[in-house]
Chain A
Amino acid sequence: MQAHDTPYQVDGEVGRFTFTTHGVEQGSELRHRTSRWLFPPVQGKVWYRTCGFKEVALVHGVVDDSYRKTTALINRVRHQSAEDGTPSRTLCDTAEGEGQQILAQLERQADRILQEHHFSPEGEPQEEGAWGKASTCFSPEEVGEAIDACEVPDDWKAEMRTNPVSYEDPSSQVYTSMDDVGVKQQKAERDKKPPPKRRRKHPKEYVETTVAQVDHDDGSYVLVGSHMGGVLRLLLAFLLDNGLWKHGLTFLTDGQKTLQGAILRAFSWWGKVSLLLDWYHLEKKCKEQLSLAMKGRDLRNAALEKLRPLLWHGLTDRAIQFLGQLDPETIKREDAREGLIASLERNKPYIPCYAVRKELGLRNSSNRGEKANDLVVSERQKHNGMSWSPEGSVGLAAVTALVRNQEQDIWFDQNIVPFELARVA
């Protein structure tokens, strides 16, 4: 029996400690090396982190607070000094590493699920399937009643009936709100003399994390990744693994061209895919573009008062016509008006009749996705003075999403991501 020279290092809920492990040598063979065979093997100077430590430091710590604050807190509650306790930098590496492991595990699970369902690794079906075929819509009678309930002129109602966006039955749908969230990117080296803000030649660089919130019935799930394509692939695996492949897919987006294109490409073969332009972003876009286009706030507000009801009732052609007929004397920048018209024309297939959807109790907003963005990325990562590496930002977002999906216990215990809809409060 021989004691090993290198002690086994543990970072636990009780604090940091080390202990001696042993082995038995028989000739040229080492038998019974406990540092590998009895305890979880760790590389070099790495500390083994207990489930209790991860729960305290990650779930109740870095998900909400800065690494520095969390380090101070955990060392304080474990009654260890800064020298003997966990360093802030180590905690940062731990959280980011844990996030990268979660993402890698999700990728592996997605590979397995896609293979099991006879899909290519990129997410293309290799066989015919009834994808989205169980999607149903409200009956024409129900839609007609909802249109009739709107207090608008009859010619508007006639046009509302021709709106291209259908009125899906929510129980037959999976709703997905998806967006990119950008946080300030960390520079490889700090500037010795940063240029004054007003004279900055190069715009700030951002690290993008894609966040998707999936909703079906009472359950929801948050997916994160460093790029849209990867998150859409995870979404497909999630739908297949949760038996949601017969449902229709309804995406609520902010109108970002690249996102819309990526969704349509990724799910072009799915039987029923609907893209909806979120009302909040449509209204916001109109406000911003009209502010640029028109001479003064009063004129803008007057135009907006007329434009808003047209778009709320899904009358995109009338809205475009209205913008085209604005008095040239009231226009400050023609390019802004043309930009708004082009945007409405491009998004026409995705602008539903919001008033009728509201009457039918259907979603008009991607607010749940926006909330997920806030909870998973913005609240923790968008603060003055904070900047992130691409791995650091998406890694921490992955840990936060794990906690939000209530998967942390099984992950810490078994390194498995359950990948199931959770009833999120």
Chain B
Amino acid sequence: MSQYEISVEIKIKECKGSVDTKPVEQANGAFRLVIPEATASSIDECEQALLRTNFAAVRQALATHLSAVSKKKPRNAPTEKVE
């Protein structure tokens, strides 16, 4: 039985570019949300922005992982006719 590692890293840094309305998935599977400075400086608004991005990333990570698991062929798998 193989093991799986879960690791989480969240980065908040200054950037350039247009502000996003919702988290956008990147090519590497990460999620990115660009927020205005006012939001970044507000405890309440920054908390919400972080949670929105976090939940989207968690859902996507779970979906990607489960789909990958489903590609692994179990031993002694039953068979059935193609419908």
Residues of A within 8 A of B58 (CB): 14-15
Residues of A within 8 A of B56 (CB): 79
For chain A, which range describes its interface: under 10, 10 to 19, 20 to 34, or 35 or more residues?
Answer: 20 to 34
Chain B 47-76, CB within 8 Å of chain A: the 1/0 string?
000011011101110111011011101100
Chain A 1-29, CB within 8 Å of chain B: the 1/0 string?
10000001010101111111110111011
**B5 interface residue (CB < 8 Å to A):** no
Provide the bound-state CA to CA distance between A12 and B81, in Å: 31
Provide the bound-state CA to CA distance between A32 and B77, in Å: 6
Q: How many A-B residue pairs have CB under 8 A?
A: 72
**A39 interface residue (CB < 8 Å to B):** yes
**B80 interface residue (CB < 8 Å to A):** yes
| A29-B81, A38-B69 given; A19·B64 CB < 8 A | yes
Residues of B within 8 A of A16 (CB): 59
- Which of B52, B59, B60, B79 is the one whose CB lies under 8 Å from A31? B79
User: Do A8 and B66 touch (CB < 8 A)?
Assistant: yes
**B43 interface residue (CB < 8 Å to A):** no
User: Do A15 and B71 touch (CB < 8 A)?
Assistant: no
- Which of B55, B69, B71 is the one whose CB lies under 8 Å from A78? B55
**B78 interface residue (CB < 8 Å to A):** yes
User: Do B70 and A17 touch (CB < 8 A)?
Assistant: no
| A78-B55, A79-B51 given; A30·B67 CB < 8 A | no
Provide the bound-state CA to CA distance between A26 and B77, in Å: 13
**A364 interface residue (CB < 8 Å to B):** no
**A34 interface residue (CB < 8 Å to B):** yes
- The prevalent SS among residues of B at the interface is helix
Closest to A50 in B: B62
User: Do A1 and B71 touch (CB < 8 A)?
Assistant: yes
User: Do B62 and A39 touch (CB < 8 A)?
Assistant: no
Closest to A17 in B: B59
User: Do B59 and A14 touch (CB < 8 A)?
Assistant: yes
| A24-B73, A30-B79, A37-B78 given; A15·B55 CB < 8 A | yes
Residue with the highest number of chain A CB atoms closer than 10 Å, among B51, B59, B74, B80? B59
- Which of B64, B70, B79 is the one whose CB lies under 8 Å from A38? B70
Provide the bound-state CA to CA distance between A80 and B62, in Å: 16
User: Do A31 and B82 touch (CB < 8 A)?
Assistant: no
User: Do B70 and A22 touch (CB < 8 A)?
Assistant: yes
Residues of B within 8 A of A22 (CB): 67, 70-71
Residues of A within 8 A of B79 (CB): 26, 29-31
Closest to B51 in A: A79
User: Do A38 and B59 touch (CB < 8 A)?
Assistant: no
Which residues of A does B touch, CB under 8 Å?
1, 8, 10, 12, 14-22, 24-26, 28-35, 37-39, 78-80
Apart from A14-B62, A80-B55, what 8 extra A-B contacts exist at CB < 8 Å? A14-B59, A15-B55, A18-B63, A22-B67, A25-B82, A35-B70, A38-B70, A79-B55
What are 29 A-B interface contacts by the 8 Å CB criterion? A1-B71, A8-B66, A8-B70, A10-B63, A14-B59, A14-B62, A15-B59, A17-B62, A17-B63, A18-B63, A19-B70, A22-B70, A24-B73, A26-B79, A29-B79, A30-B80, A30-B81, A31-B79, A32-B73, A32-B77, A33-B80, A34-B70, A37-B74, A37-B78, A38-B74, A78-B55, A79-B51, A79-B55, A79-B56
Which residues of B does A touch, CB under 8 Å?
51-52, 54-56, 58-60, 62-64, 66-67, 69-71, 73-74, 77-82
